[in-house]
Structure 1
Amino acid sequence: METVSEQSVNHDERRQAAKGAGDEMTAAGKAEGKAARKAARKTGGSGKSGAKDTRIEVLVRRYLFSRGLRFRKNDRRYPGHPDVVLPKWHTIVFINGCFWHAHQGCSKYSIPKSNVEFWTAKLTRNHDRDIAQHAALESAGWHVIVVWECELAKPVREARLERLYTEITVPGSMASNELADLANAAGSVNAGGSIV
């Protein structure tokens, strides 16, 4: 059995060992953390994966609530723990930061210049996971809507929020890009009713 003085020596040794392990953080690890914090500041998030109550999430939820819609937030019963679940409308809304969810073609999404391999793998995983989760929800009969951070910039915010409300509340309404995809897939119909 250890005496009190032996216990304090062992405690001091463990503390020094733990401190030494923390000092060995690599330059790559520091760069990763710095890049993550920078991206989080841009998106209004905390920099943690799965962050809740980001600035853009709060903005969208406040708007929906002000329009009389009631919802659950971050519901763990569904894949991806959706930001907004509207059971009455059988609709789920994801509010995504462009960087963290790899919004293709967006100016807010780019791979950091340091530790490119790590960031490419991480952001690709996030993007692929989102696709799988949305497919699972849609196959379960949910209408899935994604609102991107770039769509909530001040110049276009009101129009996007208004369109979101319409997508939720008007039966059969879809985003304009979904309608365009359907029109292209079905072909166009001429005045006589035949497909061109």
Structure 2
Amino acid sequence: AFTSNVDMKSGAPAFGTPENTKANIASGQLARRYDLPYRTTPGSASNAADAQGAYETLMALWGAVLGHGNLVYHAAGWQEGGLTASFEKFIIDVEMIQHMMEFLRPIVVDEGELAVEALGAVPTGGHFFGESHTLERYATAFYQPMLSNWQNYEAWQEAGGLDATARATRLWKKALEEYVQPEMDPAVREALEAYVARRKEAIGQGEP
């Protein structure tokens, strides 16, 4: 499904709106009713990788998740209503998607997670950082973001005072420098190219 509302003052399409999110959820319900696969898109009308782009994309991402999309199309990097893509926006969107994936992970309730013995071993006014229970789990206990900065203001300033967009720039440049294209079996490539050629002949040059 690809639907949203428009700016009634200009007619410009709007994305990542409450109406867009509700439409994506309802479209998912219709797809399940008719036993169809459901493709959805989190988008933004923002022209920059800024706060507007983040909150609109996150609102639309909730529509994709709650609508139970089978394929989330244009999941990262979408900008200017889909007219442009941004490396910085791509990194920010991937961070939001990873947050969402971790949020959707079921809560585990067992002896290790409840940590009753560890709680009882620390006296009032103490802390848990030195406890074996903590030391065994600290590296994986919480989601570690790739983009967020959790320093206090002074430490953040001393480190350069980079905001999320500037940090995203560093990340995508580093990723691009280190990228190595994976090998593909020549037979697989040949089969894919043959399939594309057949589909183009069957339906023309439009989107399949």
So what's the TM-score if we normalise by structure 1?
0.26
Which is higher, the Rg of structure 1 or of structure 2?
1
Q: Give the TM-score taking structure 2 as reference length.
A: 0.25
